[in-house]
Amino acid sequence: MQHTLDALDAWRELPIKQQPSWPDSAKVELVSAELASLPPLVFAGEVDDMRYRLGQAAAGNAFLLQGGDCAETFAGATADQIRNRIKTILQMAVVLTYGASMPVVKMGRMAGQFAKPRSSDSETRGDVTLPAFRGEIVNGFDFTEESRTADPSRLLKAYHTAASTLNLIRAFTQGGFADLREVHSWNKGFAANPANKKYEQMAVEIDRAVKFMEAAGADFEELKRVDFFTGHEGLLMDYERPMTRIDSRTGDPYDTSAHFIWVGERTRELDGAHIDFVSKIRNPIGVKLGPTTTPETALALIDKLDPEREPGRLTFITRMGAGKIREALPPLLEAVKASGAQPLWVTDPMHGNGFATPTGYKTRRFDDVVDEVRGFFEAHRAVGTHPGGIHVELTGDDVTECLGGSEAIDEAGLATRYESLCDPRLNHMQSLELAFLVAEELEKR
Ligand code: PEP
Ligand code: MN
């Protein structure tokens, strides 16, 4: 046990990036101790179950859908907003299940996605410079000294917000809200909108499939519940480490803040603290890979994070950019395939496609998002590997943060309802449209 704990804390001696400077370290210690004494948010058995399902996806027998906010907020953890996000993910999942003819593993970027990496430690407006906003688990978004000062009591607020979010996720997905026929009826509303006429054909086919299941006597009681997992970027070590517990069944450490933990593009140095920490926990692990990733780096990450080549252990989330994916991804796929390893390959078509408008909005074009997804499928088809999932920033609300889609949001339209504190999200309609387009790609496989 001591050995396990020593290994788990080896990251403390390694170079670490993107951590806040807390003004009061004694207070951080107190909060850490409190976090460590609070109940786990997820259970090790669920985490193992998810790893198994991700293994299925890596082998080409399932598909992963992961979606949610770039940065969750405390105020955004309302019943309505959580419900709308779950609803959107479930609606997308039905379309993808049809397109893939395979189980879709559903995961929210939810119930813990509170910490953000930033390109600069500070932000200057006029002649005032303050610490950058690092997500509500660290500091506030308002540009005042008080709000931007890192406050450790936010770690506890994040835990409790995650707990109540997860509670509602469990209630909605186990309590009848996720009934397949209900979710399907919401999708009919989407397809009936004249703007979405091009998806009518597939919507009709899904409708026939559901009717067929009913006629054939499928057990719809069973289809009332779905398993819904959570994941977030494991960035803030003062949260992730106290949430890590030794499982009494196996003696292994699990980060119980979420089922799935990923390491971001900015903190994935092979010899850095984050990669070392996640190498010691039993959760399924994701690593974001940007366009400068070399085959050697991908192979070294596999050796460090998945030396046993365990199905579902490691997910590579590629975020290359629409203009780069067709060159950048195939060499990685080739090298990993040749090594015999089989990580789960997921596309994040958001983070390589951001830009700012002249009016100062951070945005992405829906068409670029779709183009990156297509490039992802093309690369896998060419190399003979499995395109195993999609990771998107989305909300169930009718925000105007990304350009385009069937509602044709334009630059002037962004101002109508731009709510994200960080990166722009697909809105409800854009998310469903993306699901139909991904389903078309899945049908082609
Ligand atoms: C994110 O997922 O919000 C993010 C910061 O991504 P990346 O690490 O890929 O830049
Ligand atoms: Mn983001």
**What residues have CB less than 8 Å from 185, skipping those under 6 apart?**
none
User: Using a 6 Å cutoff on CB, does residue 117 contact ligand 1?
Assistant: yes
| 2 — pLDDT class (breaks 50, 70, 90) | confident
Contact assessment for residue 344 and residue 54, using Cβ atoms and an 8 Å cutoff? yes
Indicate which ligand has the atom closest to the C-alpha of 266: 1
Whole-number Å distance between alpha carbons of 114 and 136 = 6
Nearest in space to 372 (alpha carbons), one of 336, 327, 411: 327
Amino acid at 171: A
Whole-number Å distance between alpha carbons of 99 and 16 = 42
Over residues 342-382, the pLDDT tens digits come to 999 999 999 999 999 999 999 999 999 999 999 999 999 99
Residue 113 Cα to ligand 1 middle (Å): 11
Whole-number Å distance between alpha carbons of 50 and 44 = 10
User: Using a 6 Å cutoff on CB, does residue 70 contact ligand 1?
Assistant: yes
Over residues 281-295, the pLDDT tens digits come to 999 999 999 999 999
User: Using a 6 Å cutoff on CB, does residue 134 contact ligand 1?
Assistant: no
Quick one: pLDDT at residue 220? Answer: 84
CA dihedral 390, 391, 397, 398 (to 10 degrees): -70
Over residues 90-114, the pLDDT tens digits come to 999 999 999 999 999 999 999 999 9
Whole-number Å distance between alpha carbons of 387 and 409 = 29
- Range with the lowest mean pLDDT among 71-75, 206-210, 219-223? 219-223
Over residues 200-212, the pLDDT tens digits come to 999 999 999 999 9
Quick one: pLDDT at residue 3? Answer: 83
Quick one: pLDDT at residue 5? Answer: 87
User: Using a 6 Å cutoff on CB, does residue 288 contact ligand 1?
Assistant: yes
Crossing angle of helices 79-100 and 153-174, rounded to 10°: 50
User: Using a 6 Å cutoff on CB, does residue 391 contact ligand 1?
Assistant: no
0.85 exceeded by pTM = yes
CATH T-level fold of 5-178+225-443: TIM Barrel (3.20.20)
Residue 264 Cα to ligand 1 middle (Å): 5
Where along the chain do its domains lie? 5-178+225-443
Whole-number Å distance between alpha carbons of 364 and 372 = 12
| 81 — pLDDT class (breaks 50, 70, 90) | very high
Nearest in space to 322 (alpha carbons), one of 371, 355, 380: 371
CA distances from 376 to 139, 327, 380, 381 (A): 36, 10, 6, 9
Q: Residue 1 above 80 pLDDT?
A: no
Residue 425 Cα to ligand 2 middle (Å): 8
Q: Residue 445 above 90 pLDDT?
A: no
Q: Residue 330 above 80 pLDDT?
A: yes
Quick one: pLDDT at residue 392? Answer: 98
User: Using a 6 Å cutoff on CB, does residue 319 contact ligand 1?
Assistant: yes
Contact assessment for residue 318 and residue 332, using Cβ atoms and an 8 Å cutoff? yes
Residue with the nearest Cα to atom 3 of ligand 1? 70
User: What is the pLDDT of the chain when averaged over all its residues?
Assistant: 96
Residue 290 Cα to ligand 2 middle (Å): 13
Atom of ligand 1 nearest to the CA of 233: 2
Residue 422 Cα to ligand 2 middle (Å): 7
> What is the residue whose two structure tokens read 């596999």?
302
Residue 339 Cα to ligand 1 middle (Å): 27
Indicate which ligand has the atom closest to the C-alpha of 346: 1
